[in-house]
Structure 1
Amino acid sequence: MVERISSQQFEASKGVEDWQVLADGAKAHFATGSFAKGVELIQVIGRLADAADHHPDVDLRYSVVMVSLFTHEVDDISDRDVALAQQISIAAHDLGIAADRSKG
């Protein structure tokens, strides 16, 4: 069973430094620098999300990909969001894409 976690629990998790917890979930903005690099990141996010059976909202702009995680089963964030956030951050960093924490 999926259980709700607090924003403090999310933020205390390792590997989620790119993410901010807001009222409507955990969010990250990845500065891709180009549309093509954004598409590349979204393809990886799609594979990770399908493997986890947990699908984020993703918004592709010319030079940024915005990702939002939220567990609808608990109407909040959960450990599933932590796990996917960690994987997405690793994938972004592997692609040379940095997060922009000034957005939110």
Structure 2
Amino acid sequence: MDLISEADFTAVPGTDGWHVLDAMAAAYFDSRDFASGAALVARIAELADAADHHPDVDLRYRGVTVRTVTHSAGGLTRKDAELAAAISRAAGELGIVADTERLRPRGSV
């Protein structure tokens, strides 16, 4: 599987709200409460199993952090961008939005 650049990743529709950090893509979704976050995690699990591509997911009281990278390729691939876009769509369907400032790389504007 071919690696893609940060620009290639962000060019995929639906990846706004995601940041490329340390050769992986990450987003924080402000779920407002634990139950909503758990519902998003369940949707992410379904999407990941369907895509046979499994991100790292961290559920906290008010939010969910998701990180994706294709370990076998050693970085980001189109599969990561497609999964990120699908996760963002699922979050939107649940009324959960990505907090675009939460995981902003240090030094970026």
Q: TM-score per shorter chain, which class?
A: over 0.9
Number of equivalenced pairs: 103
**Cα distance in 1 for residues equivalent to 2:12 and 2:20:** 12
Q: Which residue of 2 aligns with 1:41?
A: 40
The aligned counterpart of 1:92 is 91
How far apart are residue 44 of structure 1 and its match? 0.3
- Runs of 4+ in structure 1 off by over 4 angstroms are none
Normalization by structure 2: what TM-score?
0.92
Indicate the RMSD between aligned Cα atoms, in angstroms. Answer: 0.7
Q: Percent identity?
A: 46
Distance 1:12 1:90 in 2: 16
Q: Deviations over 1:59-101 (max 9, x none)?
A: 0000000000100011100000011001000000000001101
In the alignment, which residue of structure 1 is the partner of 2:66?
A: 67
Normalised TM-score (structure 1): 0.96
Paired AA for residue 100 in structure 1: D
Give the letter for the 2:82 counterpart: A
1:48 Cα deviation (Å)?
0.3
Report the alpha carbon displacement of residue 12 of structure 1 after superposing the two structures with TM: 1.5
Structure 2 unaligned residues grouped into runs of 5+: 104-109
Whole-Å separation in 2 of the counterparts to 1:82 and 1:88: 10
Counterpart for residue 11 of structure 2: 12
- The 3-state SS of whatever aligns with 2:47 is helix
8 A Cα contact 2:12 2:82, kept in partner: no
- Aligned partners of 2:55 and 2:68 also within 8 Å: yes
Extract unaligned runs of 5+ from structure 1: none
